Chains A and B, each alone.
Chain A
Amino acid sequence: MGEKHELKKVFRRPLSRRDFLKAAGGAGGALVLGGLASACAPAATPTPTTAPAVPVAAVEGATPEERALNGIKALKEAGKVKDGDTFTIMHHSGQRNNIVPALEEWNRLTGLNFQSAEVGLEADIYTKAMNEAVVRTGDYDIFLTFCNWIGDMAEAGLIVDQTDWWAKYDPEVDHGPSAYVAPLDRFTSLYKGRRYALGADDDAFSLFYRKDIMEAADKAAFEDKYGRELALPNTWEEFDQWIEFFDRPEEGFRGGHMYAERYFAYTAWAARFISKGGAYFDDNMDPLIVSDEGVTALEEQIRLTQNHMFEDAVTGDWAVAYSRFPEGSVFFAWAWASLGKWAQDPETSKIAGKVGYLECPGTMHDGTLIRAVPHVVGWSFSVSRYGKCPEAAYCWAQWFTGPTVGLDAIARVGTLDTFRRPWFDDEKMKEAYGAEFMPILLKLTENSFADLALRGANEYLDKLNLNLQQAFAGQKDAERALRDTADEWQKVTDRLGRLGQIEAWRTERANYPQHIQDLWKKLGKF
């Protein structure tokens, strides 16, 4: 059991930050000398190099997959890795089905021994990753984590800046025919303007409703009540009426299920808040949530939650949505794309074939409808600095997310969802998600904005969530909840260093979809 912990390893001094800068400094020279020392030396944390303007891969190969494999070949030739070397990927149990078959294939192709180490709770992945940052066992080579944790992991010195590898191997994320859907290409990987991770998922929140009930509804009654025709809602006001109309508590049938619980309460609020033109912070990291946009958005969502939803929305866990909607006791549900697959499966769902999809409602700004879709969590690969050969580990990630290999892997049941543009038109994907849903999912993704991804993202979000949950449970009013959050955020920011956070936030808000950035500009925010 303990062979891999021989004594010599016990006293292997982990690289300190200082050694590291030295090594990185030498790396440039070494590259010229033939890449002898540098091939495996990870690039330094924020070293100010200019991002490659036109990516020209330094490694031969027509596709990201080929380049990744060639990369391994080169690393082998340079003696950096050899057959049978063991690499460990820490990932969530829900991705085993996506990853493990691919791992076998990869090991066959490369002769290396990549293995998976699964973790059951998402939160525990963060815990274990951050522990690795402190303890540096070198037991993990690759982390598949929420993409908004890369700030923490990068600042803790755990993960390697991949920017140079992107230049060298070109994973075709933000260009070319099989690029990621924008803005996934940015926020799944960027922190402070550098590429720290390779996105492997699309978690734009998706909206589902009961097509059958809507079609059978009393259209005249709707028109009488709201003075417009019954149709899928485009704005949040229309959405609220729409939910209200279909809410029938006396039949045990509720209008909707939107998260108001301990971990994802922010989602429903954030969609309204951002579409109204809100932003989490200003450029000095002073919170902007205690604003008209913020308070109104929360009040609207509280009204909806308290009047038209089951209590479970506030106090159950997130998986409750996955039974309330398929069992046919709510009209509308809002969750990850997987809920769609789940609700359309006649095996598990009473409403298979009765599910409709809609775009996320938005807010009208001078005649323009601005939609903002929360991209909730979402997984991306980052590479450990303390692993055996970070560059080889990176190659795996690029190979796995490549246009062909990735397509197969993502089409398998698991917690990873489609993210490259062409995949949205692929038959395999259409079959997996439902042909009707794919164009909607594409639009949702295009309008999506990421979770807070600053250093301390978990803490910011957790404090927001606990206040919002209290508001939804009626224990705080909207303004008070947001104000309390803002106060806590200020403390976090100060503790973590305001200057660094300002830098991170300024680059982070550039990851929002263009139309939202335009709106901010128009409203004079930034």
Chain B
Amino acid sequence: MAIKVERPPVAGGRKPLFPRLVRALNRESFFQNVLAMPMQLLLWFLLIIPTLIVLYLSLVAWEPRMGVDWWQAPFAWFRNYGHVLSDVRFWQAIVRTIGVVVVAVALEFAIGLALALFFQRDFLGKRLFTAVILYPMMLPWVVVGLAFYLLFLEKGLVNYILIHFLGFETGVAWYHYPAVALSTIILADVWQWTPFMFLILYSGLGALPRDPVEAAMTLGASRWQIFRYITMPMLKQVIIIALIIRSLEAFKIFDLVFIMTGGGPGTATESLSLYIYRLGFVYGQLSYAAAMAVLILVSISIIIRLAVRPLEYEV
């Protein structure tokens, strides 16, 4: 009887054509750097020069309509930054935007998580329902803005329902009062972006190992205890990342505000992005906008840095 001698298989199952190349490719130090290279190249290539231009712009006093090329503009050094810090409209926009981010993201997370848990079990037509739930974020943002703008008009569908079905005397002037107007914007944002939270939490939950959950079950843990002590901690990474991503995006909220209220009445619902848009593209104050952007970048960086910290100590 012939005895086959088993050798440990060579990578790829057959002899490599270029053994030295393959060995080099497989050397760990090389391997890991090659992996990260494309991203680094892309980002440096595409973003470093524009970033330097932004920084430069933030230090000069320049507007396109000054009729001077941007590289010829006189230096203002940190005057732009000083002006930003003493700009009331800027601070109001910051506070307002943070408020929207906190409320909207919290709601999106809570609802998204509830939905993701609800959809863990199988039931009839689950795929179809999932598709429906994901739908809102697939619409172009402009269209979502328009739909909600029309819904909450004084003579829109929502007020019609309030008056004719819920017995309200008159409709609500949704866009009139800052807090109410902001809530409609938040509502639209929640409607549009809860699916994202659902998507990421749903796939996060799906990717979790079943074993620890089963182990906890046999150890007598209740559903809530499993959720609290097993599922959530295991999902922590995904949750933090989802929250960071969503917060960063919500912080830039623009389309909905632009279409639904235009930031009005006055500046009552103006978000930071809308203000920067006005500064840069309506008022033409590009170097002032650049300074503001840099300030925002720095401060968000610090906040996110703190938020990211817990992730770094994970195994």
Footprint of B on A, CB under 8 Å? 16-17, 45, 123, 126-127, 130, 133-134, 151-153, 155-157, 261-263, 310-312, 314-317, 320, 324, 329, 455-456, 458-459, 462, 466-467, 469-470, 472-473, 475-476, 492, 495-496
| Distance A492 CA – B261 CA, assembled complex (angstroms) | 25
> Residues of B contacting A492 with CB < 8 Å?
283
Given contacts A126-B281, A126-B282, contact A317 B262 (CB under 8 A): yes
- Select A262's contact among B70, B153, B174, B263, beta carbons within 8 Å: B263
Main secondary structure of the interface of A (DSSP, over half): helix
5 residue pairs from A and B, CB less than 8 Å apart: A126-B281, A127-B281, A134-B70, A311-B176, A315-B176
Q: Quick check: is B65 within 8 A (CB to CB) of the other chain?
A: yes
> Residues of B contacting A17 with CB < 8 Å?
67-69
> Residues of B contacting A157 with CB < 8 Å?
67
> Residues of B contacting A152 with CB < 8 Å?
64-65, 284
| Distance A317 CA – B260 CA, assembled complex (angstroms) | 9
The contact string, 1 if C-beta is below 8 Å from chain A, for chain B 85-106, is 0000000000000000000000
How many residues on B have C-beta within 8 angstroms of the other chain's C-beta atoms? Answer: 32
> Top 8 closest A-B pairs, CB basis?
A470-B266, A315-B175, A473-B265, A262-B262, A459-B283, A262-B264, A311-B154, A127-B281
- Select B266's contact among A123, A155, A156, A476, beta carbons within 8 Å: A476
Min distance, Cβ B185 to any Cβ of chain A, angstroms = 13
| Distance A444 CA – B153 CA, assembled complex (angstroms) | 31
Q: How many A-B residue pairs have CB under 8 A?
A: 110
| Distance A133 CA – B155 CA, assembled complex (angstroms) | 42
Given contacts A462-B283, A470-B266, contact A315 B67 (CB under 8 A): no
| Distance A314 CA – B173 CA, assembled complex (angstroms) | 10
Q: Is the CB of A262 within 8 A of B281?
A: no
Footprint of A on B, CB under 8 Å? 63-70, 149, 153-155, 173-176, 181, 261-268, 278, 281-286
- Select B265's contact among A156, A320, A455, A469, beta carbons within 8 Å: A469
List 13 other contacts, CB 8 Å, given A134-B70, A262-B263, A456-B283. Answer: A152-B65, A155-B65, A155-B67, A310-B155, A316-B153, A456-B65, A459-B282, A459-B284, A462-B283, A470-B266, A470-B268, A473-B265, A495-B285
> Residues of A contacting B285 with CB < 8 Å?
495
- Select B281's contact among A130, A314, A316, beta carbons within 8 Å: A130
Q: Is the CB of B64 within 8 A of A312?
A: no
Residue of B155, B176, B265 most packed against chain A (CB within 10 A): B265
Q: Is the CB of A262 within 8 A of B261?
A: yes
- Select B284's contact among A45, A130, A473, beta carbons within 8 Å: A130
Min distance, Cβ A311 to any Cβ of chain B, angstroms = 4
Residue of A262, A310, A455 most packed against chain B (CB within 10 A): A262
Q: Is the CB of B281 within 8 A of A462?
A: no
Q: Is the CB of B261 within 8 A of A315?
A: yes
Q: Is the CB of B66 within 8 A of A155?
A: yes
Min distance, Cβ B232 to any Cβ of chain A, angstroms = 42
> Residues of A contacting B181 with CB < 8 Å?
315
Q: Is the CB of A314 within 8 A of B69?
A: no
> Residues of A contacting B176 with CB < 8 Å?
311, 314-315, 473
| Distance A134 CA – B281 CA, assembled complex (angstroms) | 12
| Distance A455 CA – B281 CA, assembled complex (angstroms) | 14
| Distance A262 CA – B174 CA, assembled complex (angstroms) | 15
Q: Is the CB of A466 within 8 A of B153?
A: no
Q: Is the CB of B153 within 8 A of A312?
A: yes
Min distance, Cβ B257 to any Cβ of chain A, angstroms = 11
| Distance A462 CA – B266 CA, assembled complex (angstroms) | 10
> Residues of B contacting A16 with CB < 8 Å?
69
> Residues of A contacting B262 with CB < 8 Å?
261-263, 317
| Distance A312 CA – B159 CA, assembled complex (angstroms) | 12
Residue of B70, B181, B278 most packed against chain A (CB within 10 A): B278
Given contacts A261-B262, A262-B263, A312-B154, contact A458 B282 (CB under 8 A): yes
